[in-house]
Amino acid sequence: MESENEEEIITTSPQEKTMMLTKTRQYVTPYLPPPVVKTIHAIDSNPVFTSYTTEPSMAILVSTLLCFVVWNVLKIIGAVVGGGKSTLHLDDADDVLADTLATAKNRGKDGSGSGGSDKEEIFYDDTVVLCGSTGSGKTALLYQMCGSNGGLVPTVMSMKATVGYIKSSSSTVRIIDYPGHPSLSSQLPTALTSSSKKKQNPTRIIFTVDSTKPVADGAELLYSILTNATVRSFWENMVSKNNDTSKIPIVIVCTKQDVKNAKNWKRMKIQLRTELDKIRKVVLKSTKNNKSKDVNEGGGGEEILTLGVPGKTLDFEKLGEDIPVSIHFTSVSCVTGDGMDNLKEFVTSGVIVD
């Protein structure tokens, strides 16, 4: 008796599957365009396919959809696992900053060029950090400033920092092109404050924004830099250590000025200020709510750093006494070369050319 039941289960299971496929075909066919319906009929009437199942078209469709779902799930898992890689340890060979000790292999006769992979040490006098959101033109700027020949160099999104060098008559400057992928933004302060026993700390920053797109992503990243406690403390210590009354210069570079719908730096400045002000208001409101909650619960609450003067519109010239930076704006194009000379002057000497 048990064997007969088992036989019945085995023989009816494929029939149930076929009935499900048939019902699926009958349900979706009215919504499909005629060419697709014609293809389904052709497949179902082909003896090569029908020898395997009575609903070959639906079997192929379901298998394809299943493969698509599995593929996207794997992509999501890969993005989560790959994007979450720790970048805290600078000695790790897989670190985002591991290649900042570049080689002189690809340098030109003038000392310019990007580093190679043999980790030969290059001596430099100063460091400039090049950062910004994904797709804002950082790497294209790096190649242009470091003397790339043959016009604009095609670039792709990177998960590791790229290093280039510019040599002037008096010094060699290292440029760290930090990737803009959101998963790596938490480690950007490491690049902005990193130092080596024999090397100079980063003394100036280039922050890129795409002048053809909204500034929301760039504003969020810039806000996170300016309100980071570690970065602020580093800037304050560096200024006081050098007995220097000047501030750390940050140049906001509005890229892709050759594109038709590109906005000039003046419009970008207004938009960036407006977006930063929105972020600041949200942070201040959230901080106020959290402090009220901490008081009710008897907690002390952690101080949240912000920008400018509360209650007043954000002003780039008055970010706060505890933020020793000066922010400047410029427009450049890696295609036409407009603005590149002034930017190179800033990199090599720190001089802001209006």
Q: List the 325-331 sheet strands across, edge first.
A: 113-114, 162-167, 172-177, 126-132, 202-210, 248-255, 325-331
Q: Give the integer Cα–Cα distance in Å for 164 and 146.
A: 6
Of residues 36 and 94, the one with the higher pLDDT is 36
Phi, psi of 146 (to 5 degrees): -90, 15
Weakest-pLDDT range from 6-10, 48-52, 57-61, 303-307: 6-10
Instruction: Say whether pLDDT at 214 is over 80.
Output: yes
Please tell me the distance from the alpha carbon of residue 171 to that of residue 168, in angstroms, as a whole number. Answer: 5
More confident residue, 269 or 106: 269
- Cα angle 220, 224, 227; round to 5: 135
Residue 254 confidence (pLDDT) = 95
Output the CA–CA distances (angstroms, integers) from residue 62 to 31, 48, 55, 57, 88, in the order listed: 17, 19, 11, 9, 44
Q: What's the mean pLDDT in 298-305?
A: 55
- Predicted local distance difference test score (pLDDT) of residue 308: 75
- The model's confidence at residue 97, banded by pLDDT at 50, 70 and 90, is low
How many residues does this entry show for the chain?
Answer: 354
- Per residue in 327-343, pLDDT (tens digit) is 999 999 988 989 999 99
φ, ψ of residue 331 in degrees (nearest 5): -115, 140
State the burial class of residue 305 (Cβ atoms within 10 Å of its Cβ: 0-12, 13-18, 19+): middle
pLDDT tens sequence across 31-59? 777 887 788 778 777 777 777 777 777 77
Helices (H) and strands (E) in the chain, counts: 10, 7
Mean pLDDT of 143-156: 62
CA 22: distance to chain centroid? Answer: 47
